[in-house]
Amino acid sequence: MDLINNGVICAIETSCDETAVSVVRNGTEVLSNIIYSQIDVHKKYGGVVPEIAARKHVEIINHIFKEALKEANIRSSDIDRFAVTYGPGLVGALIVGVSFAKAMAYALKRPLIPVNHMHAHIFANFLTHKDLKPPFICLVVSGGHTHIVDFSGYNSIRVIGKTRDDAAGEAFDKIARALGIGYPGGPVIDRMAASGNGEAYSFPKVSFADNDYDFSFSGPKTAVLNFMNTAKQKNIGYRTEDICASFQKSICDILAEKSIKACIEKKYKVLCLAGGVAANSYLRMKVSKMGKGSGIDVFYPELRYCTDNAAMVAARAFYAKEDDKYIFLNATADLKIDIDNDK
Ligand code: KG4
Ligand code: ZN
């Protein structure tokens, strides 16, 4: 395919609570990847407060941009193209990155490539695995999304299964909050589960007759909450580590089983993981083990490219077909993953 986006791409990501700017050369050579996380600000509320997130992005984005150029050892005039996440995400937060990128592209007379945040998570795999090529199945699991995606080409991406209620990361965050062990919940549960017994409790797994690639996580989440309430009422003790390990197992087993099943049924030999929950150590282990047993190669991005960052936005922009000035680009809170644009 023609790589219209060769050269130096400066990418900007502000879809949630990370302000991130990255400079990437020729698609995979990451010259800088600066991430300012607002976690400490939102921690005390137990989740991201959209208005605060947007204000923090405004305060810091200029500094993060300068730092990204400094670390990459380039000047703004060395940038060939800009790329920016324009959705899905918190609209107030997205607007900051989109406005900044539009202003920079306009001032420097450079094209601006609009990037779908969920595509960017998938393309993070290309940063870590330089020889990876489509087709493959990708399990995209983040704080707001859980999808099984048929990635048949760089611009042919189709959702074949998704959650019908909570996203996997959201379920991790809610259970951690109920257990009072911190925010964001995924990394804490992952850590505590390491010294817990995953067989201690059994929480329900949900299947659907009409599309068995779909997920539901509100069932296991409610089961954990009910268990905790009953234990409290009856004054029965439990080890938080055991709850973490058992809950993590119930969520990750079903994620692994359905994605491997998708590979087998679609006759794909490669499975990729993407998104914040792809950082989960049990999920990585489980999927790799099941992959080995089924002759499927399993890939996942390095940890720093699993959670939100701008290098993955540049990686996606590198393969994008759109290449325009996009002065009328708007932040879009709801954006579909599906595209069919390779022809
Ligand atoms: O992709 P991401 O950084 O942001 C979104 O686009 O949502 O994902 C954040 C989510 C949070 O829900 C967080 O709890 C989860 O990813 N997460 C994890 C782990 N690290 C982050 N979940 C499970 N295990 C982890 N190690
Ligand atoms: Zn994300």
Share of the chain above pLDDT 90, in %: 89
CB 13 less than 6 A from any atom of ligand 1? no
Q: Are 110 and 37 in contact (CB under 8 A)?
A: no
Q: Is the pLDDT of residue 305 over 80?
A: yes
Q: Which atom of ligand 1 is nearest to the CA of 18?
A: 3
Q: Whose CA is nearest to atom 18 of ligand 1?
A: 186
23-32, 75-84, 310-319, 328-337, range with the lowest pLDDT = 328-337
Fold of 134-301: Nucleotidyltransferase; domain 5 (3.30.420)
Share of the chain above pLDDT 70, in %: 97
pLDDT tens figures, 30-44: 999 999 999 999 988
| 233 CB-side CA count, 13 A | 6
Mean pLDDT, the chain, rounded, equals 94
Q: Is the pLDDT of residue 169 over 90?
A: yes
Q: What pLDDT score was predicted for residue 3?
A: 53
Q: Which ranges in the chain are annotated with CATH 3.30.420.40?
A: 8-124+305-340, 134-301
112 alpha carbon – ligand 1 mean position (Å): 28
Q: Residue 307 CA: which ligand is closest?
A: 1
Q: Is the pLDDT of residue 24 over 70?
A: yes
pLDDT tens figures, 100-137: 999 999 999 999 999 999 999 999 999 999 999 999 99
CB 300 less than 6 A from any atom of ligand 1? no
16 alpha carbon – ligand 2 mean position (Å): 8
Q: Which of 203, 201, 192 is nearest to 238 (CA)?
A: 201
- Sign for the CA dihedral angle at 264, 267, 269, 274 comes to negative
Question: How much is the average pLDDT of 188-206?
Answer: 95
Query: Ligand 1, from 172, 177, 248, 316: best to mutate by most atoms within 8 Å of Cβ?
Result: 172
What is the pairing mode between strands 81-87 and 112-116? parallel
Q: What pLDDT score was predicted for residue 47?
A: 86
Q: Are 138 and 111 in contact (CB under 8 A)?
A: no
Question: How much is the average pLDDT of 73-97?
Answer: 97
Q: What pLDDT score was predicted for residue 207?
A: 81
Residue 146: pLDDT band with limits 50, 70, 90: very high
d(CA 198, CA 230): 20
Q: Residue 190 CA: which ligand is closest?
A: 1
The set of residues, in sequence order, having a beta carbon less than 8 Å from that of 315 and lying 6+ positions away, is 24, 27, 28, 120, 123, 124, 126, 127
Residue 211: pLDDT band with limits 50, 70, 90: confident
CB 85 less than 6 A from any atom of ligand 1? no
CB 173 less than 6 A from any atom of ligand 1? yes
Q: Which two tokens stand for residue 186?
A: 């995924």
297 alpha carbon – ligand 2 mean position (Å): 24
Q: Which of 64, 91, 89, 87 is nearest to 10 (CA)?
A: 64
Q: What pLDDT score was predicted for residue 326?
A: 67
Question: How much is the average pLDDT of 258-272?
Answer: 97
- Sign for the CA dihedral angle at 272, 273, 279, 284 comes to negative
Q: What pLDDT score was predicted for residue 1?
A: 47
Class of CATH domain 8-124+305-340: alpha beta
pLDDT tens figures, 155-168: 999 999 999 999 99
Question: How much is the average pLDDT of 10-24?
Answer: 97
Q: Whose CA is nearest to atom 7 of ligand 1?
A: 143
Backbone angle region of 149, left / alpha / beta, with phi > 0 → left and psi within -120 to 50 → alpha: beta
Question: How much is the average pLDDT of 296-315?
Answer: 97
Query: Across-strand partners of 255?
Result: none
Question: How much is the average pLDDT of 178-183?
Answer: 92
d(CA 246, CA 274): 22
